[in-house]
Amino acid sequence: MKPPQNPKTTPPQDPPRTATQKPPRISFEFFPPQTLEASFRLWDTVRTLAPLGPSFVSVTYGAGGTTRKLTHEAVETIHKHYGLNVAAHLTCVNASRDETLEIARSYKQIGVKEIVALRGDPPKGEGRFTPHPEGFASSVELIEALAEEGGFHLRVGAYPDPHPESSSMEENVAWLRRKVEAGAGSAITQFFFEAETFFRFRDACEAAGIDVPIIPGLLPIENWKGVRKFAKRCGAHVPDWLDDAFAKAARDGREDLLAVTLATELASELIEGGVEDIHFYTLNKPHLTRDIAHALGITAKADLNQVA
């Protein structure tokens, strides 16, 4: 994604259309609700985006395993009532090996066939991940156990910018290779802001012999200040020109239009570079994601009555 020309003075334009491109396959990430209001927002998000025909949707697992039960309930409801292919997040945090594998088996019993296997973030207030005394020490150990369990397509995380706990891009690539060797069948990247970031990472992975699909993760920018803080915590590089662009858009009251335009341009560059799948981090706010999908030529594949 190239910076807009003179972002301090140029207002965001209407989102670009990409009718000449083949639309990508898309997928969405949701997170489980912890309040009644959040519950309504989740189901509105699912109803809005399900008709776009995602290849899968994922449901997150709160930091420290705090939403374990809520995640299971959301996964089961989306799977049963919306007919979507759900990839349930599963982490190593605050659970023994037996407890973690029992959660996986419970997903298998309700027909869920995909898991996003992650180490997981430490509980709030703890600076670093500490394994449960009887738990998995890393995502690689979790992936190995799930692969041995069988019955799941295993997706994993990947970092096109250096992970906060890694020393280099080479270390990121090496960790992803270990995950693939342990049994991962595909990877979803952390969000990023420029296509070159993804292409550099993809090339490095190919050079390292990693041959599973690597799906770029895109985060529609609903709140620039919040996204900027989030990017800093997870190690995503923030180009300086984005600050100028969103400052100007805020003065014009056109932040949403800028967000859709930038995400559509980024997705288009990825598609031109051979990307066939894009994963959207929706934050349970569907409208920007829907507008970006429409700009990419993706329209509803089913009526709401067919997916609800």
> Catalytic amino acids?
29
Contact 259, 250 (CB under 8 A): no
Upper half-sphere CA count for residue 66 (Cβ side, 13 Å): 10
Q: How far apart are CA 214 and CA 130, in angstroms?
A: 28
Query: What whole-number distance in Å separates Cα of residue 73 and Cα of residue 195?
Result: 35
How many other C-beta atoms lie within 10 A of the C-beta of residue 277? 17
Cα angle, residue 164 at apex, residues 148 and 279 outer, rounded to 5°: 60
Find the length of the chain. Answer: 308
Q: Is 166 left (phi over 0), alpha (psi -120 to 50) or beta?
A: beta
| Nearest to 215, CA basis, from 207, 205, 224 | 205
φ and ψ of 90, to 5 deg: -145, 130
DSSP alpha helix (H) spans, the chain? 36-49, 68-82, 97-109, 139-149, 169-182, 195-207, 224-234, 240-252, 255-272, 286-295, 304-307
Task: Name the amino acid, one letter, at 48.
Answer: T
Alpha-carbon span 293 to 10, nearest angstrom: 24
Beta pairing partners, 214? 187
Alpha carbon 149 to chain centroid distance?
25
6 burial class (0-12, 13-18, 19+ CB within 10 angstroms)?
Answer: exposed
